Amino acid sequence: MHDTELYRCLLGIEQPWTVEEVTLDLAEQRVDVWAGHKEEVRWPCPECGAMMPTYDHAPERTWRHLDSCQFKTFLHARPPRVQCTEHGVLQVKLPWADAKARFTLLFERLAIEVLKETDILGATRILRVSWDEAWHILERAVERGLARKKRKICPQIGVDEKSVGKGHTYITLVCDLKASTVEHIADDRKQTSLDSYFTGLSEEQKEAIEAVAIDIWDPYLASIKAHVAHAEDKIVFDRYHLMTHLGKAVDDVRKKEHRALEKEGDGTLTGSKYLWLYARENLPEKHQERFSLLKALNLKTARAWAIKESFRDLWSYTHRGWAYRHFKKWYFWATHSRLQPIIEKARMMCKYLHNILNYFEHPITNAVSEGLNSKIQTIKKMAYGFRNREHFKTAIYFHCGGLQLYPEVPTE
């Protein structure tokens, strides 16, 4: 087999295109392939499809293609142009690459596969492309995916904020809790941030919303109430966020008590911060002995912890009525605890009890998308070089958007 014919097959180049020349540069470890076509070929106008002869050629362009063994491989061609009576002089569509791409479709597909599995830096090493090139492929994949995205019904959504970088910059994420995908990302965590999701929905989509899981955050509450009918019965305060609020109260009690004990030279609570924050069944075994001893002491922190853990039992009920009874008892205990941070959180729970108990009609939580959250954490940690919020958003859509990212490769 002649080397030009070999590359025609390898590149999947079809009529009317042929491979005219192949060069191998051992020193540079690269293969260069030139594609061309016969004179008399007729091409479809990219706008209307009318067939016409070659008008002229655009200057030669180069596309990176899949490697030939360890050799980087580049495809060169002069894209033909046609002169359509209706649409003027236009470049014809090339079978191996998108209009402005610097990579062939097959290379882009491979790059997307790689980018899904690793961070940008890893992809630059595997694919031997620059950071900007790798990022550009990812960005184009997201653009493609968002453009193809069809309207869909999401009956159960979760709304959450994520901080960007180390500053106090936030983004708002709307997740489809059933599909575990990020459906919408907006800047900040204001009412308008979430409004932008709802205003993009059709009436049918809005009516289909059955339940929304959120943390207690007034701007989100206001937005949901403004856009979703019967919102009061559909908003479910996320149990993991609620437990985080109580965990914070326990920690406040611990800090204060620790300071007081330390003044008397008592280091009982030193280094115990995280022990009190675990759910009791999740406490690692190596800490169990110390924790049992701590619990047995007459500590304010231990009392606060017990109150926190008792709140968790709320979700073990199957009926709203029983959960409500449990809450009443718990509330009495918490508000009579003489532990100020606990009392404050107990009042907050009482204020929002209706939405907390909505869980029993709509057992949803943002942690259903636990996989999603850990993915987003990984994206944050990855050396993505988030020079800005837009990069973070694009990466979330890439990894969590459930989008169709791949360019379509023409089949024979």
Q: Which residues bind Zn ion (CB under 5 A)?
A: 45, 47-48, 84, 86-87
What is the arrangement of strands in the sheet containing 211-214, beginning at the earlier edge strand? 181-187, 169-176, 156-164, 211-214, 235-237
What is the arrangement of strands in the sheet containing 30-37, beginning at the earlier edge strand? 17-25, 30-37, 71-77, 61-68
The CB density around residue 284, as the number of other CB atoms within 10 Å, is 10
Least separation, in Å, of the C-beta of 73 and Zn ion?
Answer: 33
Least separation, in Å, of the C-beta of 50 and Zn ion?
Answer: 5
Tokens read off for 239 = 């149990």
Residue 9's Cα: distance from chain center in Å?
A: 38
Q: 359: closest CA among 218, 256, 243?
A: 243
48/409 with CB nearer Zn ion: 48
92/105 with CB nearer Zn ion: 92
Q: Is 402 left (phi over 0), alpha (psi -120 to 50) or beta?
A: left
48/293 with CB nearer Zn ion: 48
Least separation, in Å, of the C-beta of 87 and Zn ion?
Answer: 4
Kindly give the pairing relationship between strand 181-187 and strand 80-84: unpaired
24/51 with CB nearer Zn ion: 51
Least separation, in Å, of the C-beta of 90 and Zn ion?
Answer: 7
- The string over 47-80, giving b where at least 16 C-beta atoms fall within 10 Å of a residue's C-beta and e elsewhere, is eeeeeeebbeeeeebebbbbbbeeebbbbbbeeb
88/165 with CB nearer Zn ion: 88
45/294 with CB nearer Zn ion: 45
The torsion angles phi and psi of 308, rounded to 5 degrees, stand at -60, -50
Least separation, in Å, of the C-beta of 96 and Zn ion?
Answer: 22
Half-sphere exposure of 180 (CA within 13 A, CB side): 11
Least separation, in Å, of the C-beta of 162 and Zn ion?
Answer: 46
47/313 with CB nearer Zn ion: 47
Least separation, in Å, of the C-beta of 138 and Zn ion?
Answer: 33
Q: 100: closest CA among 128, 129, 137, 132?
A: 137
